[in-house]
Chain A
Amino acid sequence: MTKKNKSASQRRLIPTYIFLVIVSFISVFPLYWMIAAATNTSTDVSRGKIIPGTYFIENFRNLISQQPLWGSLWNSFFYAILTTIVCLLICSIAGYGFEIYHDKAKDGLFSVLLLAMMVPQVATMVPLFQMFSKAGLLNTAVGFMMPMISTPFMIMMFRQNARAFPVDIIEAARIDGLNELQIFFRMFIPTMRSTYAAAAVITFMNAWNSYLWPKVIMQDNSAMTMPMLIANLITGYVTDYGMLMCGVLFCSIPTMIVFFVLQKQFAEGITGAVK
């Protein structure tokens, strides 16, 4: 009886399955195609070949002969990891401060900071470029991370999650003689590991993928990031599809790995501030 019910309910779900399979196919196919194209010659790609080929090494060789791939990969990793560490530190301690020590003045300040969410990147781009070039921060990792390490979104996320942090722990730690900073580092950070993981994933992804700001301040080829590098591959008149997709693949591998390994944290990071 129950079995019959089950199969009946599965049968009713057939249109759902068909729809989901189509949507999943459309979602995955462009990425599959990117990998297939990275292993084929440009001519094969433009003839519509979608099966992986054997030309990957040549595409890769062409790519490193034309573009500073290793340098850009290193830059992207270095900038993104540095940004993630500093951002987490600054935003988590701020979120903690706003929640644990909250009073009227701090709540007011918080709503003012939220207004920064409405400030578009293109509006701050020119003044920041002028400030940073005066300060000699063009082509530097510090220049890259400065506008990204304190965001209302991240502060809000940590503030929201700090709500679940038991006040008893703070009281007990104070009695034990820990000062406020020690409480944050020894009590709050270890307890909030999952929040930190989610925040780290989302910050790393954003930093790795950022394009407009690096394009503005990274003017030396040696300071270039991966998104900038692959964008350079289409500046010529003829596009080498195989080589281009090889570059896109290298730009995507790190974020793909993060996605597959830490998908749960990624999803939590996206929705983190709204719970």
Chain B
Amino acid sequence: MISKKKGMSLVAKQRAAGWAFLAPATILIAIMSFYPMIRAFILSLQTGTGANMKIVGFSNYARILSDKVFQQSIINTFLYLIIQVPIMLILAILLAQLLNNKDLRLKGVFRTCVFLPCATSLVSYALIFRCLFAQDGLINNVLIKLHILNTGYNFLGNSTSAKIVIILALIWRWTGYNMVFYLAGLQNIEYSVYEAAKIDGANGWKTFWKITVPLLKPTIIMTFIMSINGTLQLFDESVNLTKGGPANSTITMSHYIYNTCFMNVPNFGYASAMAFIVFIMVAVLALINMKVGDTRD
């Protein structure tokens, strides 16, 4: 009788231990993510500052419809997304495929080089690119020496070229990062599959599209979701590379929301409304991606 009771309490103890182990992490996520998300929604229905917040309903959301800068920031963010993410991911898969060749020498050196940009902080590389593409920066110096340009071109002062610089910088920083996922994924593909394809007469290009890409599909979907998530939250690059300029033409959503909160006249209510829109975008795109990933498998 006693031993039975003790045995049950042991199981109960284990169950309690299990819950106790995940309690700190769970509570922290609840307080640091879920609760602030609810607060953000409540804030988005309010206006005013500090203790004088008034509930105004959805007028903050209505204001978004007439806010040209926020609309510009949405367009910019999606432009970066649509152009940068596919180029980067295709380049990353291609590099992973090339580096997965067992005849290739110096594999480790190439991999380290391509992966190296990940070692720099986002602010660091944004500043490096800002200097490289400055009017008296290295890129202009080279172009002048090659007689392509007569005087330095103001890359960051023109809205189109500034956007291109941001996209190039993003590709530079994140291609190696994504390549690491694909290299890990490729290691799960048997080399004999490629050998068989070679015997069947498939060339490199065909092997790439018919074998590598389909077999890496789960990895591709995951990196796609991560890239979308990251791009929708771009902040460091916009702040430090272009400062959002010229005239807000490269500003991202996060950058504009930050400015609304902490620059000029703080407006937490309106900022929260915009932040909530970002949340909805992230959630919807992630769900679409997961659905696409599900149905084709």
Segment at the A interface, from B59-67, B78-86, B120-128, B206-214? B120-128
**Interchain CB contact under 8 A, B233 and A122:** yes
Of A51-59, A63-71, A189-197, A244-252, the one touching chain B? A244-252
A164 close to B (CB within 8 Å): no
Cβ of A150 within 8 Å of any chain B Cβ, yes or no, is yes
- Output the nearest chain A residue to B180 by Cβ-Cβ distance: A267
Does residue B118 face the partner (Cβ distance < 8 Å to A)? Answer: yes
A234:B26 contact, CB within 8 angstroms? no
Contact (A118, B286) CB under 8 Å given A24-B114, A123-B272 = yes
B142–A120 contact, CB under 8 A? no
Q: Which residues of B contact A126 (CB under 8 A)?
A: 40, 43, 261, 268, 271-272, 275
Give the residues in chain B near A239, CB-CB below 8 Å: 131, 134
For A1, list chain B residues within 8 Å (CB).
Answer: none
Chain A interface SS verdict (over half): helix
| Nearest 5 interchain pairs by C-beta | A101-B18, A97-B21, A48-B141, A94-B25, A180-B17
A222 interface residue, CB < 8 Å from B? no
Residues of A within 8 A of B239 (CB): 211, 231
Per a CB cutoff under 8 Å, which of B37, B118, B131 touches A124?
B37
Stretch at the interface among B96-104, B159-167, B189-197: B96-104
Tell me how far the C-beta of A200 lies from the nearest C-beta in chain B, rounded to whole angstroms. 16
Report A-chain residues with C-beta under 8 Å of the C-beta of B52: none
Q: Which residues of B contact A271 (CB under 8 A)?
A: 180-181, 184
| A155 partner residues in chain B, CB cutoff 8 A | 25
Bound form: Cα–Cα A130–B218 in Å: 40
Measured in the bound complex, the distance between the Cα atoms of B124 and A228 in whole Å is 10
Interface: B240 (CB within 8 A): yes
B36 near A: Cβ within 8 Å?
yes
Q: Which has the most chain A C-beta neighbours within 10 Å: B17, B32, B142, B254?
A: B32
Q: Does A221 contact B (CB under 8 A)?
A: no
> Assuming A23-B114, A27-B172, is B40 touching A123 (CB within 8 A)?
yes
With known contacts A28-B113, A48-B142, A263-B115, A123–B123 Cβ distance under 8 A: no
Q: Which residues of A contact B272 (CB under 8 A)?
A: 123, 126-127
Q: How far is the CA of A119 from the CA of B124 in the complex (A)?
A: 25
- Whether a CB of chain A sits under 8 angstroms from the CB of B5 is no
Tell me whether B132 and A106 are in contact (CB under 8 A).
Answer: no
Residue of A nearest to B286 (CB): A118
Whether B101 and A93, one on each chain, are in contact in the complex, defined by CB atoms closer than 8 angstroms, is no
Within the assembled complex, what's the spacing in Å between the Cα atoms of A115 and B287?
11
- Complex Cα distance A267/B111, Å? 11
Q: Distance (Å) between the CB of B46 and the closest chain A CB?
A: 11
Asked whether B103 lies within 8 Å of A180 as measured between CB atoms, the reply is: no
Contact of A33 among B138, B229, B258 (CB under 8 A): B138
Q: Are B40 and A116 in contact (CB under 8 A)?
A: no
Q: CA of A245 to CA of B124 in the docked complex: distance in angstroms?
A: 9
Q: Which residue of B lies closest to A126 (CB)?
A: B268
Q: Could you jot down 10 A-B contacts, CB within 8 Å? A: A13-B104, A31-B128, A48-B142, A106-B22, A120-B254, A123-B275, A126-B43, A146-B28, A270-B181, A274-B219
Q: With A34-B128, A255-B120 given, is the CB distance from A113 to B43 under 8 Å?
A: no
Known: A101-B14, A126-B43. A94 touches B172 (CB 8 A): no
Q: Is the CB of A98 within 8 A of B119?
A: no
User: Is A120 in contact with B282, judged by CB distance below 8 angstroms?
Assistant: yes
Tell me, yes or no, whether B155 is within 8 Å of chain A by CB: no
Given A125-B275, A258-B119: 20 more A-B contacts, CB < 8 Å: A20-B99, A24-B110, A27-B113, A27-B172, A28-B113, A37-B131, A50-B138, A119-B37, A120-B229, A122-B275, A123-B275, A125-B257, A126-B272, A131-B36, A150-B32, A180-B21, A233-B127, A251-B123, A252-B121, A274-B184
CA distance A127 to B261 in the complex (A): 11
Measured CB to CB, the closest approach of chain B to A181, in angstroms, equals 7
A94 touching B26 in the complex, CB below 8 Å, given contacts A126-B271, A128-B36, A267-B180: yes
Q: Is the CB of B121 within 8 A of A119?
A: no
**If the complex has contacts A109-B22, A234-B130, are A181 and B17 also in contact, measured as CB distance less than 8 A?**
yes
CB distance from B150 to the nearest CB of A (A): 15
